[in-house]
Amino acid sequence: MTEHEEIEYHEILITMLEIIWGEGFLSPGGAEEVALLLAGEDIKDKNVIDIGCGIGGIDVLLARDYGAGSVVGVDIEQPVLDHSIARAETEGLSDKITYQLVEPGPLPFEPASFDVVFSKDAMIHIPEMKGPLYSQMETTLGRENADRYVEIWRSMNVVIESGELRPGHLRAIKPDR
């Protein structure tokens, strides 16, 4: 564990999310949504970083099904990385997929270390999208897309902060607040 705070994705939450979203996934959509994200992109033999890799189901897809040359999964919590490391071993992909525990914030890699930057459902954890990340997003995506992204993130946070995304919601019981 890094020093950022206490573990959020503990074993019970991991188990619950895998029951909901499928083995290896902490976010919705599974392999189908990864296919949508990668539509039109050829990552064969490319060096990929997966930011906020979670428990590694996606990294197996990137290496095994999409032929990535290498995948480096980074996350801020060791327990999810332990799952990822075990999964890569079970799949016989430890030579292609490696993992690194990082601190939240700037990543410890030189610029242009990777061909492809992949990230799925990790940005929801970034507390301030209009903060230091914004100028980079604007440069990379253009202002219109960056603003659209921030708006999606802002709306999602409204839902999260309302409490609607608690486990009670997933059981279809409206939280009592």
Ligand X SMILES: C[S@@+](CC[C@H](N)C(=O)[O-])C[C@H]1O[C@@H](n2cnc3c(N)ncnc32)[C@H](O)[C@@H]1O
Binding site for ligand X (CB under 6 A): 9, 25-27, 51-54, 58, 74-77, 80, 102, 104, 120-122, 125
C-alpha span between 87 and 74 (Å, rounded): 15
Nearer to ligand X, 142 or 157 (CB): 157
Residue type, 54: G
In the bound state, the residue with its beta carbon closest to ligand X is: 54
Q: Which two tokens stand for residue 110?
A: 């030189």
Cβ at position 125, least distance to ligand X in Å: 4
Cβ at position 46, least distance to ligand X in Å: 18
Cβ at position 93, least distance to ligand X in Å: 17
C-alpha span between 25 and 16 (Å, rounded): 10
SS3 letters for 123-155?
Answer: HHHCCCCCCCHHHHHHHHHCHHHHHHHHHHHHH
Nearer to ligand X, 1 or 142 (CB): 1
Q: Which residues of 144-164 are buried (b: 16+ CB within 10 A; e: fewer)?
A: eebeeebeeeeeeeeeeeeee
- Largest interatomic CA distance in the chain: 50
Q: Which two tokens stand for residue 169?
A: 């919601």
Cβ at position 104, least distance to ligand X in Å: 4
Cβ at position 117, least distance to ligand X in Å: 12
